[in-house]
Structure 1
Amino acid sequence: MASTVSTGKLIGAFNDVKGKTFYIIFEETYDSNTYPRTPKWCARAIGDLAAMMRLIFWSGSSAEGGMLKGTGGKSITPEGYIGGFMKELANPVEIQDQRFELSVGDGWDAVIGRAEFPKTLAKLEAIGESEMACALDQGQTVSVSLFEHADALSAIFDGVDLGAWRILKAYNTPVYAMRNPALGYAPAKVKPPLVTLPRVVRISQDDANLLVQHDDGSWRCDGWNYSYVANYITGLWETELKYPGSFRSLIKSYRDALAGAPVMPSDDVTIVVDTSVALGAYAAENVQRIQREFDCKTIDGAIHIPFSADFDFRYHVTHLPVEAAKWVFGGKEEAAPQRQAEQLCLLAS
């Protein structure tokens, strides 16, 4: 499976005309399935501290499942990846003011793609840049300054819908620019908060899939162990802003707790599929296959499937759509499969 290989990290920083600090995140990468494997710098996003943290943690979460690698294709941890960018945030290179020409066009290298423009339009209007939004909508080219229009540029090139590489070209990456720690983010570490874990059990000793109890009390299979950890990391940036320096211990505590989750009992377990939920073609085909190949009953319009430890069975039922399939223990939807699955609060050490 292809992965992104990260070979370099860089953060640039500047103060806009109002004195607010903005950052630009640069990353040197290559794709493992492309040849030659030549690392290239890319300006990913422009934004304030919160925007940078959100993007860094979101990107770092990909390392949990192996989709993000380090130099030479070596495995890395989300903590290591995030930590590398946190060092860059503490001592960024200083960015000088520059001008850009914004326009809406077609093609992969358009400054603002026509397909992405509706979202861009909404973002600009949301921050009070209606005049700029109107000009772009009318097909005009708008000249902007990095320092004067930082809010608008960060809204447009947030690294989610549009990357900053569309206006900041790779050959201008400020690798050798002067560092200015006065523009950096280097807060003192504070004691981490408690980690609140979901109620979770493993399906079997040799199965990476987990069952988690949702807010409505139902138990559902949302995916593999690593996907839960990755989702946790994605949203951890806000906690890191409140409790600087806590991300490493919090991620470790969460990962260790899920890895040590108890195995559910294999007897008296039923998977109930709600047939009233609209399904896509693949999901519907999977449900039909299970009905053909396994012992199922239809009760009040819902398909009831007795659990089996058979590998093929587990594969199919764990790929049922989360919104339609719930796991019932002992005939009670809210029943806990084991006492050890009670919600835990661990103090990250």
Structure 2
Amino acid sequence: MGATVSTAKLASAFQTPGNETIYVLYEETYEKNCYPHTPHWGCRTVGPLATVMKWIFSSGAACEGGMLQVRGGRNKPEQYIADWLTQLATPKEQHDVPFTLVVGGWDSSIPKDKSEEVLSRLTAAGFESIALALAAGEKHAGSLWADSRLVTCLYGEGDLAPWRIMRHSHFLNTDRPDLGYMPMPVKKPALAPAPEFLKVDGENRLVRQKDGSWRCGGWEYSVIGDFVGTLWRDELAQPGTFRKRIRAFREAIQAAPMVPADMKVLVDLTVPHYSTYDVQEREEIARHFPVKQTDTGYEISLKRDPGDLIDLASENREIYRITRLASQCVTWVGEAPQAQPA
């Protein structure tokens, strides 16, 4: 299985002239399907607390499906996030790092194939003069301490990683507990109830929307991962609650009942298509399965045994094909089965 294996973590920090704490996160990893398994350090993200927390939870989401592991194998998002919070509590002192920005090859500070999006982001953040100079082929010199907002904009808020300008050696082996993030945990958090879920087949899950309809959220691990990636704001507002939130969400989706036998599926053909595959599948489903035409597309009745999990490897692929459509154009209509009294 292709997966990234995390073997060590380290957080460093410094204070800006305006007394804002900036964190720099380093991680040691190797790729499971590449040999030999030699871990190497890389700088993952940089920015103020909110920026690095967003990255931590987004990365932790990859643990749910097994794409991010530890040496022993699978690792839960809860543990991965907790390990990073331990590092944030006791950061090392971060060096000042001089850098030069230039648009160039794949390993440049700004790769050419991403330059349009990156320079647009710089302009929107107030760095228009720098963006114009870089677009004209010029270089821009700066330093981490003096230009922390620029560095955060480039390497903390986009998809570029700060290893392009920083190495693992760019911190001092000096603890800075005064810059650590150690909030008091909330003892009685106000947790929002988990959404309602339905099982479509062995893997796919429906998620109840605010209007009462259902949409396919994807495979179970993906739905959980997406939820984990959004929790950084809740954790900042109510520290120490992420484990309870993830556990409650996971338990709710794992206990979901099967879709009812009388459920209907509405396919809206007026929604813009997202790929050639999506257009082909919409047409194929309408040709191969009984459908009822509607003002915006067509309706499919499932007519199936709600207690029967579909084998995705079998020839019966009706529901599987429906779940492959872009969720924006597919609405599932029906009521969840009533829970039976114990």
Query: For each residue in 1:304-328, what CA deviation from the matched residue of structure 2 results, as whole angstroms up to 9, or x when unmatched?
Result: 2221355422222222221222222
Indicate whether 1:179 and 2:184 are aligned: no
- Unaligned 5+ residue runs, structure 1? 330-335, 342-349
- The answer for the alignment partner of 1:345 in structure 2 is none
- The answer for the alignment partner of 2:76 in structure 1 is 77
Q: Is the 8 A contact 1:98 1:146 kept in 2?
A: yes
Q: Is the 8 A contact 1:41 1:173 kept in 2?
A: no
Alpha-carbon distance in structure 1 between the residues aligned to 2:164 and 2:51: 18
Tell me which of 306, 322, 328 is aligned to 1:323. Answer: 328
Residue type at the aligned position of 1:190: V
Residue type at the aligned position of 1:208: E
For the aligned residue pairs, the C-alpha RMSD in angstroms reads 2.2
Residues 227-242 of structure 1 aligned to structure 2 (within 5 Å): 227-242=222-237
Residues 198-347 of structure 1 aligned to structure 2 (within 5 Å): 198-203=195-200, 207-266=202-261, 268-279=262-273, 280-300=275-295, 302-307=297-302, 308-309=304-305, 311=311, 312-329=317-334, 336-340=335-339
Task: Give the deviation of 1:300 after TM superposition.
Answer: 4.0
- Unaligned 5+ residue runs, structure 2? 312-316
Instruction: Quickly say closer, same or farther: Cα 1:301–1:95, change in 2 above 3 A.
Output: closer
Tell me which of 135, 146, 152 is aligned to 1:154. Answer: 152
Residues 72-221 of structure 1 aligned to structure 2 (within 5 Å): 72=72, 74-105=73-104, 107-158=105-156, 160-170=158-168, 172=169, 174=171, 177-191=173-187, 192-203=189-200, 207-221=202-216
Identity of aligned residues (%): 37
Query: For each residue in 1:228-285, what CA deviation from the matched residue of structure 2 results, as whole angstroms up to 9, or x when unmatched?
Result: 211111110011011111111111111111111222322x222222223333221222
Q: Is the 8 A contact 1:26 1:173 kept in 2?
A: no
Aligned residue pair count: 328
Q: Is the 8 A contact 1:44 1:159 kept in 2?
A: no
Alpha-carbon distance in structure 1 between the residues aligned to 2:173 and 2:65: 34
- 1:178 aligns to what SS in structure 2? strand
- 1:304 aligns to what SS in structure 2? strand
- 1:115 aligns to what SS in structure 2? helix
Q: Give runs of ≥4 in structure 1 deviating > 6 Å.
A: none
Residue type at the aligned position of 2:122: L
Q: Is the 8 A contact 2:78 2:243 kept in 1?
A: yes
Task: Give the deviation of 1:299 after TM superposition.
Answer: 4.0
- 2:79 aligns to what SS in structure 1? helix
Instruction: Quickly say closer, same or farther: Cα 1:153–1:23, change in 2 above 3 A.
Output: same
Alpha-carbon distance in structure 1 between the residues aligned to 2:116 and 2:173: 35
- 1:195 aligns to what SS in structure 2? coil
Alpha-carbon distance in structure 2 between the residues aligned to 1:238 and 1:19: 22
- The answer for the alignment partner of 1:346 in structure 2 is none
Query: For each residue in 1:34-66, what CA deviation from the matched residue of structure 2 results, as whole angstroms up to 9, or x when unmatched?
Result: 222221111112101000000000000011111
Residue type at the aligned position of 2:331: K
- 1:232 aligns to what SS in structure 2? helix
What TM-score do you get using the length of structure 2 for normalisation? 0.88
